[in-house]
Amino acid sequence: NRPMACLGVSWISVPKLTLHAKPSMPPCDFSPERYQSLAYSRVLEIHKQYLSPVEAAYFQTPLLLHQGHMEWLFDSEGKRYLDFFSGIVTVSVGHCHPKVNAVAQRQLGRLWHTSSVFFHPPMHEYAERLSALLPEPLKVIFLVNSGSEANDLAMLMARAHSNNTDIISFRGAYHGCSPYTLGLTNVGIFKMELPSGMGCQSTMCPDVFRGPWGGSHCRDSPVQTIRKCSCAPDCCQAKEQYIEQFKDTLNTSVAKSIAGFFAEPIQGVNGIVQYPKGFLKEAFELVRERGGVCIADEVQTGFGRLGSHFWGFQTHDVLPDIVTMAKGIGNGFPMAAVVTTPEIAKSLAKRILHFNTFGGSPLACAIGSAVLQVIKEENLQENSQDVGTYMLQKFAKLRDEFDIIGDVRGKGLMIGIEMVQDKVGSRVMLPTLLTLKEKPQWLARLGRALERLTFRIAPPMCVTKPEVDFAVEVFRSALIQHTERRAK
C-alpha cells in the first residue's frame, strides 16, 4: 500500500516500502458494501467513449471509488484509503456523515425540488442559520450551486453596485472556470486563447516564501518560512513592499475607479499560499478608496476549516463587502452561496431580476443546515485547530529533516508542503518527485501552479491525530527512499 499525489494532470506515487518498516494503517470500524457495478475495464471504455476528453484522472491507473465513510474511501476492490484531500477540499464533515445522510433521506421523501419563487421551510431555516454566522452587515444571501457560479454573481454585484468595470485578483488565484471567472483565475493551465473574463487585472501575489520579500515572522501560521527576517514585531517589511506593488497595479493597470478586488484568504490551487499579516486589511482600504468593493472567496477556507475562525477573512481582521462560499457548505452536495450587504443587494436588484432554478432547493438547504449542525455539535472547527496545528508541526519537523521540503504552511486543516531543489537559496521547484508504482493508501494532492510544486493537504474535519501520525510516517518513509535512490 502506497501513498499517492498529483503532478499537474498525471499522478505520481511513492514506491513500495521495502527497506523500512511500513507504517500501520489506523483502524476503521466501517465495512463497505460489496462492489457489484460495472467491471473496471467497462468503466474505462465508457469513460474514453462518452465522457470529457480532458485528462482529469488523478492516477495513471484511475482509482474506481465505490464508497466513503467519514475520512475513509473504499475502491471497487474493497481497498481502504485515508482521504487527505476531501474531494478537492469539499468534504467538510466526513464522507456520507450519518447525521447528514439521515437529513437528506428525510428530505428526499418529502420534497426534492421547487424553485425559489415558492417558499419552503428548509430555505428559510438555512438562511437564518447561515446569517447568524456572519457579521453585520453581511446578511443578504443568494443561494446558487457552485463556487464558479457564486464568484460569477459576485463579479456582477461588484460592477452593478460600483458602476465600474475593472476587477483585481492575485496572480496564482483560482476563482472558477466559468467564462466570466476565468478572468479572475490566474493559473496558467486554466487560461485560454479565446476571449473571456473581460475587465480583470492581476496583481502580484504577496507570497512570503517564493516572492521577492518575506521572512520568518510574516504569516498567520504555527509554522513560518525559514527565510531570515529583520522585521520588528509590529512592522512587517514584506507587507509594506507588497502593498507598494498593489498600489502600482492600482496606478497603472486599472481605471481610476474600479469595481472590486477578489481574494482567497489563503490561496488554494496555487499551493496554500498565505499573505503577510496585515496585507489584506491595507489592500481593502486602498480598493475602497477607488470606489471598489472587497470580495472574500471562502470556497476552500470557510466553515471552520482554518480552525481559529469560522471564516478565513476573520483571520485577517477584515470585513468584506461580499463573501462567496461553496464546496464544504454542502459536504459534497452541489451548493453554494453569495452573502452581501443590503445596499449591494439592492444595487443588483435595480439592474437585473436574478433567478436561479436550482439554487436554494429544499434538498440542498436541508443538507446545508445539517452540515452546520454537525460542525457545531461535533466541535469540528476546534478539531481543525487542534489536529491541524499538530499536523503542521509534524510536517515542519520533516522540513527540518529533508532538504527537498522547502516550506510547510497553512492554518487548521488547510496545509501546503512545497517541494524544492534548494530551499535556502533559489527555492527552485523540484522537477519530479517520485516514480509511479501502484495505488495509494493515503490520498493527497500535489499540485503544480506557476513555478511551485506543493502537496495540498485538506482532510475532512473529522480527521484524528493517529491518522495524521500515519500519514506523516508514510510520507517520511517515501522521502527516505527517494533520498536514498537519488544518492545511488
pLDDT tens, position by position, 398-456: 999 999 999 999 999 999 999 998 787 777 777 665 433 344 565 665 555 555 789 99
Give dist(CA 261, CA 25) in Å, integer.
Answer: 44
Rg (CA), the chain: 22
Give dist(CA 225, CA 214) in Å, integer.
Answer: 8
pLDDT value at residue 194: 79
Give dist(CA 396, CA 389) in Å, integer.
Answer: 10
464, three cell numbers: 484524528
> Is residue 6 helix, strand or coil?
strand
pLDDT value at residue 444: 60
Give dist(CA 160, CA 348) in Å, integer.
Answer: 6
* Contact by Cβ (8 Å): 117, 353: no
> Is residue 60 helix, strand or coil?
coil
pLDDT value at residue 229: 79
pLDDT value at residue 139: 97
| List of domains in the chain | 100-377 (3.40.640.10)
Q: ω before 137 within 30° of 0 (cis)? A: yes
* Contact by Cβ (8 Å): 208, 276: yes
* Contact by Cβ (8 Å): 358, 114: no
pLDDT value at residue 3: 33
pLDDT value at residue 417: 95
- For 114, half-sphere exposure in the C-beta direction (CA atoms, 13 angstrom radius) is 11
Q: Which H or E run includes 391? A: helix 380-401
The amino acid occupying position 368 is: G
pTM of the model: 0.93
422, three cell numbers: 534548494
Give dist(CA 460, CA 303) in Å, integer.
Answer: 12
Give dist(CA 184, CA 181) in Å, integer.
Answer: 5
pLDDT value at residue 58: 66
Average confidence (pLDDT) per 10 residues, the chain, 488 residues: 29 40 87 96 92 72 93 95 94 98 98 91 98 98 97 98 98 94 91 84 96 92 89 81 98 97 97 96 98 98 98 98 98 98 97 91 98 98 98 97 94 96 76 48 56 88 97 91 79
